[in-house]
Amino acid sequence: MSSFECRPDVYEREAQYADLKAYVLAETGFAYYADRDDDFLARVRTRMSELGLVRVGDYLEFLRGHRGGEPELEVLIERLTVGETHFFRHQEIFDALRDVVGPTLLQDNRSGPVRIWSAACSTGAEAYSVSISLRREVGIGHSARPVSILGTDVNRSALRRAKRGEYTEWDLRGMPEQFRPTCFVHREGNWVIRPEFQEGVEFRYHNLVRHPYPSLVNNLIDLDLILCRNVLIYFDEVTVRRVVGRLFDCLADGGWLLVGHAEPSIALFAAFETVNAPGAVLYRKTVGTSVGRPGKPVVLKRASPRANEMPSARPTATARAGRLRAAPRPARRESASPSADRDAWLRRVRESADRGDLRAVDGHCTARAAADPLDAAPYLYLALVAEQRGRYPEAVALIRKTLYADRSIAVAHYHLGILLRRSGELAAARLAYQNVGRHLAASERDPVPYADGLTVEDIRKLVALELAELGP
């Protein structure tokens, strides 16, 4: 007998429970619950109660069928992930950010903002902790490179709270006391993050298992730093290898990956240089020499990944040997038709973007725009590259060129909204977001053009979060 409540139809329910659990674990990769039946079923029962369902089999049917499907699975994912977080959780990580990672971000000869991704960010405490640490202790906010931090999560209610930047005493329990009065405003019993530490910090909906990355459309390429802490423990080994491979592909050369204390074996991070810091293990992509100074952290090892250890994010990319490059494609004869030429151009653009080679994307698109000024796509990709590089007025102008050539590109309206909101043009941003919905297909599961595989439903969720932040 399993430990969940026994009733006269217990045998049927146990059989259906096994099917339910197998389905959820297969869809989410959440191997964390493989031997935690009590915890898993308690969370499932809570969700079933909210839906007015009694039988496990009915809930499984709801998950699989047209009444629930993917939207319900994502609600269940929210229930299954703990989401416990607070400011400066595991101080050793932030000490390493200050002493090891931060100085390299100042020294790198890279243009544009310092680009950081807080994956599975929950209510945003980690993203804001990084902002505080870099600005106060490293001084990046005062350097030539501004800070751009993107927090993502599957829990939309947590993301809404992150966007508000409002926290309780309990959320601040790990914060150094000297930071509290200078980084927050005390308001009606809560603590609100000050505007200077919210600057450059954004939050968006993203599922690490189901959604694309690297992705130029999602701003998830060419990153300087990724934090992905205390989420890989939920996944099975196959999913972890796939996620880690994609995170590797999202980083710029010399970029850093910070994971949690309880994450899997370092063997899973064989593509990275492994750096030992007091109380923390850090991973760096393609670092040619050891980092740190005398008395500071030292490199432990550097290993080249084997193909079966580090799957890449795209079938056209392979684990690097010194540097990640596009995998060779079989020779093929291209059609001379304009549509075939355009398809080949789009493929080259996307392969370059997946490698984080923005210069190549820029070159492909500039040439295409000169050859066919009425094609909207090169202007869209040029706008996304400008956005990545922090050239926001240029990005707005290019997005407007995109929409002049083709008003129906929903992704262009979405990014115009992001850019206008960032510049403080809130009414115009709201209109841009509203225009997104007017150019989406009727079916929620249809892929959206130029969206790197995101569906209509995914885009609607992204827009809903942005509109909620703007208010009525």
User: How many separate domains does the chain show?
Assistant: 3
Which residues partner with 317 through β-bridges?
A: 326
- Establish if 2 belongs to a structural domain: no
> What pLDDT was estimated at residue 1?
39
> Which residues contact residue 462 at a Cβ distance below 8 angstroms, ignoring those fewer than 6 apart?
204, 205, 414, 454
> What pLDDT was estimated at residue 174?
78
My answer on whether 416 and 287 are in the same domain is no
- Establish if 402 belongs to a structural domain: yes
My answer on whether 38 and 187 are in the same domain is no
> What pLDDT was estimated at residue 76?
87
Long-range contacts: 177-180, Cβ < 8 Å, 24+?
Answer: 179/132, 179/136
- Establish if 58 belongs to a structural domain: yes
Is the CB of residue 324 less than 8 Å from the CB of residue 355?
yes
Structural domain of 256 = 91-302
**CATH number of residue 445's parent domain:** 1.25.40.10
Examine the fold and report which residue of 41, 60, 80 is the final residue of a domain before the chain moves on.
80
Examine the fold and report which residue of 80, 99, 120 is the final residue of a domain before the chain moves on.
80
**CA separation, residue 107 to residues 104, 111, 132, 272, 286 (Å):** 5, 11, 19, 20, 16
My answer on whether 30 and 156 are in the same domain is no
* DSSP collapsed to 3 states, the chain: CCCCCCCCCHHHHHHHHHHHHHHHHHHHCCHHHCCCHHHHHHHHHHHHHHHCCCCHHHHHHHHHCCCCHHHHHHHHHHHHCCCCCCCCCCHHHHHHHHHHHHHHHHHCCCCCCEEEEEECCCCCHHHHHHHHHHHHHHCHHHCCCCEEEEEEECCHHHHHHHHHCEECCHHHCCCCHHHHHHHEEEECCEEEECHHHHCCEEEEECCCCCCCCCECCCCECCEEEEEECCCHHHCCHHHHHHHHHHHHHHEEEEEEEEECCCCCCHHHHCCCEEEEECCEEEEECCCCCCCCCCCCCEEEEECCCCCCCCCCCCCCECCCCCCCCECCCCCCCCCCCHHHHHHHHHHHHHHHHHCCCHHHHHHHHHHHHHHCCCCCHHHHHHHHHHHHCCCHHHHHHHHHHHHHHCCCCHHHHHHHHHHHHHCCCHHHHHHHHHHHHCCCCCCCCCECCCCCCCEHHHHHHHHHHHHHHHCC
> What pLDDT was estimated at residue 30?
82
- Establish if 124 belongs to a structural domain: yes
> What pLDDT was estimated at residue 337?
62
My answer on whether 350 and 439 are in the same domain is yes
My answer on whether 239 and 296 are in the same domain is yes
> What pLDDT was estimated at residue 407?
96
My answer on whether 376 and 402 are in the same domain is yes
My answer on whether 212 and 111 are in the same domain is yes
**CATH number of residue 161's parent domain:** 3.40.50.150
- Establish if 315 belongs to a structural domain: no
What is the per-residue pLDDT across 7-41, written as a single tens digit (0 to 9) for each?
A: 444 445 567 888 898 888 887 778 888 888 888 88
My answer on whether 41 and 113 are in the same domain is no
- Establish if 318 belongs to a structural domain: no
C-alpha–C-alpha distance, residues 115 and 148, integer Å: 5
- Establish if 190 belongs to a structural domain: yes
Averaged in consecutive runs of 10 residues, what is the pLDDT profile of the chain (472 residues)?
42 72 83 86 90 89 69 81 79 92 78 88 93 85 78 87 91 83 89 93 89 91 92 85 93 92 75 90 70 37 35 35 35 54 90 88 94 94 93 95 96 96 93 94 87 89 86 70
- Establish if 5 belongs to a structural domain: no
pTM of this structure:
0.80
My answer on whether 76 and 97 are in the same domain is no
> What pLDDT was estimated at residue 185?
92
Examine the fold and report which residue of 275, 302, 329 is the final residue of a domain before the chain moves on.
302
My answer on whether 296 and 178 are in the same domain is yes
Long-range contacts: 377-382, Cβ < 8 Å, 24+?
Answer: 377/342, 377/346, 377/402, 377/450, 379/405, 380/409, 380/411, 380/412, 380/450, 381/216, 381/349, 381/353
My answer on whether 50 and 147 are in the same domain is no
My answer on whether 60 and 115 are in the same domain is no
